[in-house]
Amino acid sequence: MIEAVVFDAYGTLYDVQSVAAITEEALPGYGEIITQIWRIKQLEYSWLRSLMRRYQDFSVITRESLAYTLRVLGLEYDSDLFERIVGKYLELELYPDVMPTLSAMQSRKLAILSNGSPVMLETLVRNSGLDRMLDATISIDSQRLFKPAPEAYSLIESILGVPPADVLFISSNPWDACGAKAFGLNVAWIERVTPEAMALAFVKSDVVSPLTMFNAIRTQIDELGLKPDYRIHALSELPGLIAAHES
Amino acid sequence: MIEAVVFDAYGTLYDVQSVAAITEEALPGYGEIITQIWRIKQLEYSWLRSLMRRYQDFSVITRESLAYTLRVLGLEYDSDLFERIVGKYLELELYPDVMPTLSAMQSRKLAILSNGSPVMLETLVRNSGLDRMLDATISIDSQRLFKPAPEAYSLIESILGVPPADVLFISSNPWDACGAKAFGLNVAWIERVTPEAMALAFVKSDVVSPLTMFNAIRTQIDELGLKPDYRIHALSELPGLIAAHES
C-alpha cells in the first residue's frame, strides 16, 4: 500500500525554467543561459557544500549560484535587479497537471521533500496555493545535508511516520530519483525530455543551445547503478500508477 | 615552510581535454561534446555517489559517465570503441610546464592527491614518466569518499606525515581548491580561463560551444564562501610563489 505520496519541488512540481522570463527581461539576450547555468551551479553547490561539511541553506546557495552565473557571463547588475531575479524562486509556476493530480489523491498523505529552505518552501507553497493540498512541506534543512544524502530522505519517515516501503517518491531529477531509490523508497521518475528528443538536439553538435546542454546534463536517467521503479511522463499518470502498484 | 607540494591530477597536471582527439577520431563531429559532457558527469557522479554512500572507484565512475554521455548523444558504439576512448584516461597528456616545474622543486616532498583509483593513477603516472618525480601518488580510494570531502584531504597528513599548515595544494579545479581551503591547506588555484575570456565567449549567448558551456561551469572560481590563498596561471609560477610564501 502507498500510504504517502512525496514530491520533489524544484523541477517536479514547480517549473524552474519559469525564471527565464524574468532573467530575459532583466538582462536581454541572456535569459536562457542565466537560467541554465544558475540551476546547474545551484545543485552543484548543494552537493559540494554537503561534502565539504559547509552547509548553508538553499536560499544562500540560490543567491551564491546566481552571483556566480552573472559574474561568469560578465554581466553588471545592481542589487534591485539581483533581488528581482532571485525573488522569482519564491513564485515559480506549477506544472499544469499538479493541482488536478493532487486533488485526485487526497485520500493519501501528500507531502513535499525538498532541498529548499523552510522559508523558501513555505513562501513558494503558499504563493502557489499548494498549502491547502499538502499534509507536510519537508525541508532537508534540519539535517544540514542536501539530497541525495540518505539523511535527507529519512525525514519522510520521521515526520510523516510512514516507512519507506509505503512511500511513493516522485522526482523529475534523475539524481534525486536515484538517491531516493538508494534509500529504499518506491520511486517514480518523470522523464521530461525523451532520449529521442535529446539525441535530435545534438545533430549539429559543435554549437548547442544552453537548454540543450542543460538537458544533456540534468534530464536523462543517470548511470549510478540504480533504477527508479517507474518512469512516467506527466504527473497525471500517478493515480493510475498507484492503483496498479497496489493491485 | 612548505614541506610538501601536493597536486591534483586531472585538469591540473594532466590535460583532460586531450581525450578530444580520440573521441573525434572515434565518433566524428562529436569529439568535443563527448569530452565536455563526460567530464561534467564524471565529477557529478563522484559527488553524488559520495553523498549517497554508494562509493565505486573512479574507474567505474569514468566508465559510467562515458556510457551516459554516449547514450545521451544517441551514439551507437561497440565495446572496442568504448575501450579505446576510456583507455585514453590512462594516457592523458601532461601540461607542458609540469616536468620543468617538478624538477625545480625536488627539494620538497612532491605528491599527487587525486580522485583517481590506485590502478588508474599508477598507470597514468608511469605512462607519463612522472613516477620518477613524485614521492607519493595518493588516491582517495581508501576513504571511499571523493574530494571535496575532508576525509580525502586528510590523507596528505596521514601518508606524507606533513601537517596542513606545511602543505601547498595546487588544483585548477575551483571546487577542489575550495575543498582544500576548507580543510585548512595552503592552496594555489590555477586559473586556466580568465574572466575576460570567459565573458567574451558569451557575447552571442543563444548558442554556445560545448567547451564554452564547460568552461562556464567548471573553470571559474566558485561562490562557496572560500578563497584560495593564491591564484596562478601556470604551474611554472610555483617555485617563485613558494619562495615568496616562505619569506
Q: How do the domains of chain B map onto residue ranges? A: 4-15+91-246, 17-90
**How far, CA to CA in Å, does B4 sit from each of B124, B179, B232, B236, B242?**
21, 18, 18, 17, 11
Proportion of chain B above pLDDT 70, given as a percent = 100
Place of cell 590506485: B118
Do B4-15+91-246 and B17-90 agree at the fold level? Answer: no
pLDDT category at B8 given cuts 50, 70, 90 is: very high
* Partner-chain contact A208 B205, CB within 8 Å: no
- A9: distance to nearest CA of chain B, Å? 19
Q: Which are the contacts of A85, defined by CB distance < 8 A and separation ≥ 6?
A: A19, A22, A23, A26, A34, A66
- A74: distance to nearest CA of chain B, Å? 5
- pLDDT in the model for residue A204: 78
Q: ipTM for the complex?
A: 0.97
**How far, CA to CA in Å, does B116 sit from each of A104, B141, B144?**
49, 8, 11
Q: Cell numbers at residue B242, please?
A: 613558494
Query: For residue range B132-144, what is the model confidence (pLDDT) as tens digits?
Result: 999 999 999 999 9
Proportion of chain B above pLDDT 90, given as a percent = 94
* Partner-chain contact B148 A73, CB within 8 Å: no
8 A C-beta contact, residue A85 and residue B233: no
Query: Is the pLDDT reported for residue A9 higher than 90?
Result: yes
How many other β-carbons are positioned within 10 Å of the β-carbon of residue A131? 12
Place of cell 583507455: B87
* Partner-chain contact B51 A149, CB within 8 Å: yes
Count of A-B CB contacts under 8 Å:
176
Window 206-225 of A: residues touching B by CB (8 A cutoff) are 206-210, 213, 216-217, 220, 222-225
| Residue B139 DSSP one-character state | E
- pLDDT in the model for residue B206: 83
Contact of A232 with chain B, judged by CB distance below 8 Å, is answered with no
* Partner-chain contact A213 B209, CB within 8 Å: no
8 A C-beta contact, residue B4 and residue B110: yes
Proportion of chain A above pLDDT 70, given as a percent = 100
Class of A4-15+91-246 in CATH: alpha beta
* Partner-chain contact A208 B213, CB within 8 Å: yes
Say which CATH topology domain A17-90 has: DNA polymerase; domain 1 (1.10.150)
Q: Cell numbers at residue A131, please?
A: 498549502
Contact of B243 with chain A, judged by CB distance below 8 Å, is answered with no
8 A C-beta contact, residue A234 and residue A97: yes
pLDDT category at A36 given cuts 50, 70, 90 is: very high
* Partner-chain contact A74 B202, CB within 8 Å: yes
Helix, strand, coil % in chain B, rounded to nearest 5: 55, 15, 30
Query: For residue range B167-225, what is the model confidence (pLDDT) as tens digits?
Result: 999 999 999 999 999 999 999 999 999 999 999 988 877 888 999 999 999 999 999 99
Contact of A32 with chain B, judged by CB distance below 8 Å, is answered with yes
* Partner-chain contact B40 A71, CB within 8 Å: no
Query: Is the pLDDT reported for residue B4 higher than 80?
Result: yes
Q: Which residue in chain A has the smallest CA separation from B54?
A: A182
Overall average pLDDT of the B107-129 stretch = 97
* Partner-chain contact B32 A205, CB within 8 Å: yes
Residue B97 annotated in active site: no
At B165 the three-state DSSP class reads helix
Contact of A28 with chain B, judged by CB distance below 8 Å, is answered with no
Question: What length is written for chain A?
Answer: 247
Contacts of A206 in chain B (CB under 8 A): 29, 32-33, 209-210
Window 152-181 of B: residues touching A by CB (8 A cutoff) are 175, 178-179
Listed residue (B190, B187, B193) closest to B217, CA to CA: B193
- pLDDT in the model for residue A203: 81
- pLDDT in the model for residue A193: 95
Element holding B4 (H helix, E strand): strand B4-7
At B95 the three-state DSSP class reads coil
Contact of A119 with chain B, judged by CB distance below 8 Å, is answered with no
Distance CA B167, CA A242 (A): 56
Contacts of B208 in chain A (CB under 8 A): 33, 207-210, 213
Contact of A239 with chain B, judged by CB distance below 8 Å, is answered with no
8 A C-beta contact, residue B48 and residue A175: yes
List the single residue in A50, A68, A208 with the smallest CB-CB distance to B222: A68
Window 56-115 of A: residues touching B by CB (8 A cutoff) are 56, 64-65, 67-68, 71-74
User: Mean of the per-residue pLDDT values for chain B?
Assistant: 96
Residue in A54, A66, A72, A218 to test binding to B, most B beta-carbons within 10 Å? A72
Predicted TM-score of the model (pTM): 0.97
- pLDDT in the model for residue B70: 97
* Partner-chain contact A205 B71, CB within 8 Å: no
Distance CA A53, CA A47 (A): 10
* Partner-chain contact A52 B224, CB within 8 Å: yes
Contact of B197 with chain A, judged by CB distance below 8 Å, is answered with no
